[in-house]
Amino acid sequence: MPFNLNLVSLPRRELNTRAAGVVGLAVLCSRLLGLARELILARLFGAGLAMDAFKVAFRIPNLLRDLFAEGALSTAFVTVFSKKTATGDDASAWALANKVATLATIVLSVLVLCGILLAPALVGTLAGGFAPEKAALTVLLTQIMFPFILLVSLAALAMGLLNSKDVFGAPAMASSFFNIGSIVGGVGLAWWLDPTFGSKALIGLSLGTLIGGCGQLVAQFPALYKVGYRFRPDFGWSDEGVRHVLRLMLPAVIAACAVQVNVMVNSEFASHIPGDGPVSWLDYAFRLMQLPLGLFGVAIGTVTLPLVARHAATGDRDALRSTIARGLRLGLLLTVPSTLGLVFLADPIISLIYESGKFDAVATHQTAAALQFYAVGLAAYSGIKVLAPAFYAIDRRTTPMLVSFGAIGVNLVLNWLFTFKLGLGHRGLALSTGCVAIGNFLALYALMRAATGSLETGKMVVGSLKLLLAGAGLAGVCAWGARWMASDWADAGKMLRAAELGGVIALGGCVFFAVAYLLKVEEMEDLAGALRRRLKRA
């Protein structure tokens, strides 16, 4: 159904901040478990040859997950399914779910077989700078982990179905089961194969990834049953709903391909940086940045998409614009302090979390440097999580694709400029990633504003200026805290370090949100009001 701005507006349905909070808490749990997983891997394997091989091997099916599962397939399915449920066509919606699930299972199974056979070529493309021994190990691990794409794609399809039915907690928690399965199963199998945790142990770690992927899928079955979904194989792929999903998927896949080209380019650049470690430093840093991004950006984007699709289906222009604009402003409120905290406190954060066992002080410093530059694009990433899927909901599906294509050339130039020309090494790759995210967000925002007529830009600008003032206070606290902690950090134990860092973060957060409240930042007042109502009910 084309997006029609001329239809009569229906009663407004606002962005559900409570649902966003539920998703945020669930994602926080998952990301903390993911951080625990990374911490365990850093302690057992360090950041050298073995982990470089594992990181690249896992990245290959993970790239396809972003391409098919949490990207094109999920966005397209949620858009079409939500529009069907918005018009009361539940029977057709359930039939569509069965058709898409059947098609996805068959196509992705074939993809898995092709990936296993083509693993040597994929590794050669993604990490051409690896030595032969390192490349061979990467190929083996890639072949073991390739079925992960099938499991996680079906899990993402289940998540999209549940989100479309306004069920957010269970699917958001499902990724926690991936981390639990990969930690318990992976580390257990790794120890069984090689108690010294050498290269052979990585085989067990790779098998644990499959255990985790299976857990992420199965964990959603009870919620699917509760909302009334019953899977039955359906090969009626000539259905208009399936064709609509595929039409939406095609530009989304192309757009995701452009994003993944950037990831491949970054990996190729990293593999040519001398020594063992750059790939792992970047990956550890990016994983840590995913914590606030998942907690805020992904949570807000997850709740926003079904609502935007419903507003587009009914032609409720005012509600659609308000939902997108409010999601963007809420994302800024929550990611600006995260950005400043990561920039000013990167070294103590990485040291506290990772520095132990084979992960030494050099790895801490190098990972922290990457984290600081990645954080530059955090707020932009959050905005993209809201804007990009919204284009598919309003049938402007080629827009994110074209923006992503433009980012390829920019990323390539910035990688070369920052990494080699300016000599920033792996830090240049992180900085390039942050800058590309900012450029993507600005382009998407301008194009969405043109498509919808308005995104309450005046509120956005005024709110951003207020947040910058609040951020100045936070930055001052973090800068002071970093110097204070550095004076006795080397002699302090883990518990004291954690207490000091937690105190600085808490103080900085209090300063930021207090100033934001005094400056009457609208979203801050909404959050405070929701908290007061919650306390009264308690």
Cβ-based burial of 47 (10 A; exposed 0-12, middle 13-18, buried ≥19): buried
Taking CA atoms, 300 is separated from 297, 327, 348, in Å, by 5, 6, 29
pLDDT digits (tens, 9 = 90+) for 93-124: 888 889 988 988 998 899 899 989 998 888 88
The neighbour count for residue 438, using CB atoms within 10 Å, is 17
pLDDT over 50 at 150, yes or no: yes
Domain-embedded: residue 67: yes
| Count of structural domains within the chain | 1
| CA proximity to 180, closest of 40, 346, 326, 349 | 40
pLDDT over 80 at 534, yes or no: no
Domain-embedded: residue 520: yes
8 A C-beta contact, residue 273 and residue 361 = no
Domain-embedded: residue 5: no
Domain-embedded: residue 4: no
What is the secondary structure of 359-422 as a DSSP string?
B-HHHHHHHHHHHHHHGGGHHHHHHHHHHHHHHHHTT-THHHHHHHHHHHHHHHHHHIIIIIIS
What is the secondary structure of 157-200 as a DSSP string?
HHHHHHHHTT--HHHHHHHHHHHHHHHHHHHHHHHHH-TT--TT
Q: 511: pLDDT confidence band, cut at 50, 70 and 90?
A: very high
Q: Tell me the C-alpha distance between 482 and 504, whole Å.
A: 8
Over the chain, what is the mean pLDDT?
80
Q: Which of 113-122, 208-217, 483-492 has the lowest mean pLDDT?
A: 483-492
- Quote the pLDDT of residue 22: 62
Domain-embedded: residue 428: yes
pLDDT digits (tens, 9 = 90+) for 151-202: 888 888 888 888 778 787 778 788 888 888 888 888 888 889 888 777 788 8
**274 vs 212 pLDDT, higher one:** 212
DSSP-based three-state secondary structure for 14: coil
Which helix or strand (DSSP H or E) is residue 33 part of?
helix 17-45
DSSP state of 10: P
Domain-embedded: residue 1: no
Dihedral of CA atoms 78, 323, 7, 239 in degrees, nearest 10, equals 0
Q: Name the H helices within 230-316.
A: 240-271, 278-292, 299-314
With a CB cutoff of 8 Å and minimum separation 6, the contacts of 292 are: 334, 335, 338, 342, 378
Q: Tell me the C-alpha distance between 481 and 34, whole Å.
A: 27
Domain-embedded: residue 31: yes
491 Rama class: left (phi>0) / alpha (psi -120 to 50) / beta: alpha
8 A C-beta contact, residue 27 and residue 292 = no
Q: Tell me the C-alpha distance between 480 and 502, whole Å.
A: 14
- Quote the pLDDT of residue 339: 92
pLDDT digits (tens, 9 = 90+) for 441-458: 999 999 988 888 778 888
Range of the domain at 508: 17-530
pLDDT digits (tens, 9 = 90+) for 124-140: 877 767 778 888 888 89
Domain-embedded: residue 104: yes
Residue with structure tokens 């109502």?
533
Nearest 5°: the CA angle 368, 374, 377 is 150
